Amino acid sequence: MAINSSKYKVFILRLLCLTIWTGVMLMWSPAKTFGQEKSGFQYADSLTYNLYLNSEWEALTKAGNEALDQGLDYYYLRMRIGIAFFNLENYRIAAVHFEKALEFNIGDAVALDYLQKCLEWGGMEVEAAWLSKEYPTVVAGKVVNSVSLFYGHAFSGNEEALDKLDIDGEANIYGEVIGTGNISYIHAGLNFSPANYLRWYAGYTNMQVSKHQRVVMDGVDTLENKYTLNQHHFIGRFPVRLAKGWNLVPAVDLINVNDRPVIVTYGNDLNAYNFADEEITYTDYIVGLKIFRELPRWSLGAAISRSDLNRENQWQSSFIAGVYPAGNLNLYAFSTFSLFMENEETNFHFKQTIGGKVYSRLWLQGSTHFGHLKNAHDETSLVVFNSVGNIVSRSTASAIIFISEKVILQLDYSFIQNEDSYLGFMDYESYRLQTYNYDNHHIMGGIKWKF
């Protein structure tokens, strides 16, 4: 059978056109995709660069995050986003981007300098110190990084409360009380680096507590003894970085107490009370361990401690949560919930702190701490409630003033509600402890120098 040459030519021509068209489409599609990717990169790079040049930081953070969401990620993009957050004072968030920039350009001096400042100014000093271990080019910490000196005085309402007490009651047999009066103290501390990558703290506090001891017998003031309790408190904090954002803080406190009450005893042989001056000296301790996790907008931690304050046995465990809504210290809040066990008794206490920047160099902070605080301490154990009776609540307002990057002033006012007890005989064979309340007003001021 003969083949129609005309139809055969048409078929061959159509097949050739289809082949060429398919080849063009196959080559054009990757080129188009590549062009789109190239165009997306060029657009994001050009946009973020122009925003950077024009110091449009808010717009730059938005454009930079959109580029990251599209899968773009490179050194200059991270640097621009980081610098934008840095200039917006969002130091904890900026630190994340500078860390990513260093993954693209290991050891980059500019990124390291920004990162170190972000960690320092964002309240993550342990992480900042660790940079000198990971990157030898980072400026090492000094042997002494900062020193601080504080003085405080508490004006007590105890004397007024004691004057109103009928401590021997209606029976007029016997009553005894030791009240806590005014308190003054001085604190000195320093941050130091035994190694470049460590930031440790050592401090000392001396506290002078006025005491007023009264004994009333048969309705007559038999003893009026005013003396001073002297306390020396030695503090050590030794933070260690476990991993990125994870820190472990061992703590040791030694508290030496010198007390001088009059000891009252009853001699059955003479049917009379004996009064003897006695100097009581003892040393208590607190040993603790705290672990916490730092992230750009929040932190979580837990602490446990063992102590023998006032020669009793205590365990205290705490859970601490912090939040930084803007990724910096311009607004922050910390909550601490503590479980306190003394001998076989279990109690709780809670502390809430809120602070923030209100002016160029001024931060205001407020805190309240309430619960069973006798023989307890705060989560850092810098404040110990061992020698001032039973504190029911403590509310503090603070002003923190940055004179310069190296000099910081702090002023505190605390309103403290106290509950003390006194011994009163109901009859010649039975007695009971009764409570009375009074308030303290505590004013403190201090300065911190950074080197």
Domain spans of the chain, in order of start: 11-122, 154-450
pLDDT-based confidence at residue 411 (cuts at 50, 70, 90): very high
Distance, in Å, from the CA atom of 263 to the CA atom of 231, rounded to the nearest integer, reads: 20
Instruction: Tell me which residue has tokens 């946009």.
Output: 47
Structural contact between residues 101 and 111, judged by C-beta atoms closer than 8 angstroms: yes
Pair 161, 149: CB distance under 8 Å = no
| Phi, psi (rounded to 5 degrees) for 359 | -150, 180
Q: Residue 139 — very low, low, confident or very high, per pLDDT cuts 50/70/90?
A: low
**pLDDT (average), residues 392-408:** 93
pLDDT at 233: 95
Residues 69-86 have a mean pLDDT of: 94
Q: Residue 35: pLDDT above 90?
A: no
Question: What length does the chain have?
Answer: 451
Q: For the domain 11-122, what is the CATH superfamily, name and number? A: Tetratricopeptide repeat domain (1.25.40.10)
- The yes or no reply on domain 154-450 and CATH 1.10.3470 is no
pLDDT of residue 427: 76
Q: What percent of the chain has pLDDT over 70?
A: 89
Q: Which pLDDT tens digit goes with each residue over 217-259?
A: 887 888 888 999 999 999 999 999 999 889 999 999 999 999 9
The structure tokens listed for 375 are 């023989």
Per-residue model confidence as pLDDT tens digits over 159-208: 888 888 888 877 788 888 888 889 999 999 999 999 888 999 999 999 99
The candidate with the shortest Cα–Cα distance to 355, out of 376, 335, 329, is: 329
Average pLDDT of the residues in 383-399? 87
What is the Cα–Cα distance from 73 to 65, expressed in whole angstroms? 10
The neighbouring-strand residues paired with 294 are 299
Mean pLDDT of all residues in the chain?
A: 86
